[in-house]
Structure 1
Amino acid sequence: MARILIVEDQKIMQKYFEFIILQDPDLKLVDTISDAREAVKICNYSVIDLVLMDMQTFHNHDGLSAGKAIREEHPGTKVLIVTSLIDPKVLERAKTGCADSLWYKDHGEDEIRDVIHRTLNGEHVFPDVTPDIELNWITSGEISPRQLEMLRLYICGMSYSEIAKKMNCTTSGVRWNFQEMIAKAGYNCKEDLIAAALESKLIVTTLK
């Protein structure tokens, strides 16, 4: 029987994940906690086969940072991130050693249970791409990865000139890309684009 630790700060999602685990005779619920950093400590003194962890936990603590620490310190413990954050950086980080698998919360109970078992059996299960979300007139898939990175860097506090230097292009090129994103999506200004990206969780900057 596989021993499962749930890490989730929303009560309704805690109950949902507990239901999935408790309905499966091959899984045993060890504990449910709300803080990713606490999960690292629990794995130091308890035998955990799989940590089912949200990406953004209590105090905005980062599930992937905790996942990386758990995998490094306890190679026998699997880490499955289940998240509603569609920021492509989340999936990218998960694939580079921070998790054994990642899946999205809205994919349903049966899919999540299947990913749990596949991960326990040694598979690495990841979506092929992040879900598209609507940004007014367009979907997020219509914004190029390069434009999305420019938007992310601007939201993180970089100026157009700093973005240009980091991305090896001109300041006018950065400005043109922002103008194209704003026009394509049908927003009135850059601030509307930024607000939509943050509200939809297309870009996440609050993790610690």
Structure 2
Amino acid sequence: MIRVLVVEDQKIMQKYFEYILLQDTEFRHVQTVADADTAVKICQNSAIDLVLMDVQTYHNHDGLKAGKAIKETCPYTKILIVTSLVDPKVLERAKSGCADSLWYKDHGEEEIRDVIRRTVSGEHVFPDAAPNVELNWITSSEISPRQLEMLRMYICGYSYSEIARKMNCSMAGVRWNFQEMIAKAGYSCKEDLIAAALESKLIVTTLK
């Protein structure tokens, strides 16, 4: 019997994950909680085989940070991140030791159930890349990782000069990259590009 803890703050997704687990007698749904920080405490005090965890949980607590804490104190507990956040940094962090597997919520029930089984059996299941999202005239794959990092830093409050220093380039280079992103995507200004990146969850900066 595989003991599963669900960590998800949206009621409809809580019910969906619980339904998936109830369809298979191999799984035992132990509990559902909305907060990743609560999940860490439960795993430290209970025998949990698998944590099915969102990234952005109650109070914007970070499911990846919680996953890393669980893996450090409960090495036999598997962490499967299931998220709608397409931010490539989320996938990168998950692969770096915060999770055993990651999958996206828009995939079907059977596919998610298969990833659960494979993760419990010891596999590490990750997509090759984060999904693309549309940004007006282009998709996110047409923005380079370097440009995306510049955009992320600017959204986080860094100035052009600070971005240039951290990325070892000139301020003119930073300015050129922003102008290229704006023109390529067909936006009229930087603010429209930023709004689209945040709305599409291509860049997530609210996790605590």
**1:81-109 deviation line (CA, Å, top 9, x unaligned):** 00000000000000000000000000111
1:3 is matched with which residue? 3
Q: Structure 1 stretches of 5 or more lacking a match?
A: none
Return the letter of the residue paired with 1:110.
E
Amino acid paired to 1:122: G
Aligned positions of 1:23-38 closer than 5 A = 23-38=23-38
In the TM superposition, residue 12 of structure 1 has moved relative to its aligned partner by 0.2
RMSD: 0.4
Q: Secondary structure at the match of 1:32?
A: strand
State the shift of 1:61 in Å: 0.3
What is the CA–CA distance in structure 1 between the aligned matches of 2:24 and 2:195, rounded to whole Å? 41
TM-score by length of 2: 1.00
Q: What is the alpha-carbon distance in structure 1 between the residues aligned to residue 97 and residue 124 of structure 2? A: 11
SS at match of 1:6: strand
2:130 is the counterpart of 1:145: no
Structure 2 CA distance, aligned partners of 1:109 and 1:72? 30
Q: Tell me the alpha carbon deviations over residues 91-137 of structure 1, each in whole angstroms, 9 at most, x when there is no partner.
A: 00000000000000001111110000000000000000110000000
List aligned pairs for 1:41-80, cutoff 5 A. 41-80=41-80
**Letter aligned with residue 197 of structure 1:** A
- Percent identity, aligned pairs only, is 79
1:45-124 pair list within 5 angstroms: 45-124=45-124
Structure 1 Cα separation of the partners of residues 150 and 165 of structure 2 = 11
Supply the distance in 2 between the matched residues of 1:183 and 1:45 (Cα, whole angstroms): 53
Q: What's the offset of the Cα at 1:51?
A: 0.1
Normalised to the residue count of structure 1, the TM-score between the two structures is: 1.00
Letter in 1 for 2:47: V
Indicate the residue corresponding to 1:125 in structure 2. 125
Aligned residue number for residue 161 of structure 1: 161
The 2-side partners of 1:170 and 1:111 are apart by 46
Alpha-carbon offset, residue 52 of structure 1: 0.1
- Measured after TM superposition, the shift of residue 175 of structure 1 is 0.1
Partners of 2:123 and 2:132 in 1: CA distance: 25
Question: How far 1:13 moved relative to its partner?
Answer: 0.2
**Number of positions where the alignment pairs a residue of Structure 1 with one of Structure 2:** 208
Q: How does 1:194-205 map to 2 (within 5 A)?
A: 194-205=194-205
Structure 1 position 200, deviation (Å): 0.3
Q: Write the letter of the residue equivalent to 2:146.
A: R
Q: Detail structure 1 runs of 4+ shifted over 6 Å in the superposition.
A: none
